[in-house]
Amino acid sequence: MPPVSYRQLLLDIHRPQIPTLDNFVVGSNGELMQHLHGLAAPDCATALYLWGPAGSGKSHLLRAVATAASQSRPVCITPAATVGERLDVPPGALLIVDDVAQLSPVAQVALFRAFIAARPDRLALLLSGPVPPLALALSPEREDLRTRIGQCLIYEIKPLSDTDKADALQHHAQGKGMKLDDAVVQYLLRHGRRDLPSLLATVDALDQASLELKRPATLPLLREILN
């Protein structure tokens, strides 16, 4: 058998997972998740703004909500950077705009008009951004849009604690029928990449290397993969 390339193994296995509400690790975001599930209901007219730094899971959640809601209502999902002069949203739809900090001045007007149409057209809105509404860099003449966003339900995505990540890694390993020692988990948290998708991908690579080499998934094998 040819030697295993651990770097290639990590690259091959690290495929983006299909985002769903079920495969998002909730951590301290339980209340937020309840509201996101509610947006799928066709009679929901909630406006919600969620914020957090890059890698916190905003895009995952927006795409997951879009998939869930599309079973029961029209869904319009768009990156803010691609919004033009108007947002064509059918009545009763869920409008999702990712990263409103990237809205052009013209697009800011379009989103404000969507807020105006929300009540008569029974729209729900789900917006994301990197910072709270007061810190968004909007056009000076668009303080009315900032006010509208500020009137949404506002949630900061709470980062996962190391305990949350450790639990997620153990749950992932158990689902693969894999025994993962606590020492392996702690080493991963100290020396691996900190985002959960990368940590899960490393567990997958460790599992595959263990099977190919017929070696247990222990700390020495993990060190070989990471180094």
CATH number of 166's domain:
1.10.8
* Residue 212 phi, psi dihedral angles, 5° rounding: -70, -40
Instruction: Work out how many domains the chain is built from and give that number.
Output: 2
Boundary (domain end) residue, out of 113, 130, 156? 156
Q: For residue range 163-199, what is the model confidence (pLDDT) as tens digits?
A: 999 988 998 888 888 888 999 999 999 987 878 888 8
- Express each pLDDT in 210-227 by its tens digit: 888 899 999 999 898 887
Examine residue 110 and state whether it is found in any structural domain, yes or no: yes
Residue 85 belongs to a domain: yes
Tokens of residue 219, six digits: 């700390």
| The pLDDT of residue 13 | 47
Q: Which pTM does this prediction carry? A: 0.81
Do 123 and 214 fall into the same domain? no
Regions of the chain where pLDDT drops below 70: 1-17
125: helix, coil or strand?
strand
The residue segments making up the domain with residue 40 are: 30-156
- Encoding tokens for residue 172? 């992932």
Q: How far apart are CA 37 and CA 170, in angstroms?
A: 26
The residue out of 106, 128, 156 marking a domain boundary is 156
CB 77 within 8 A of CB 96: yes
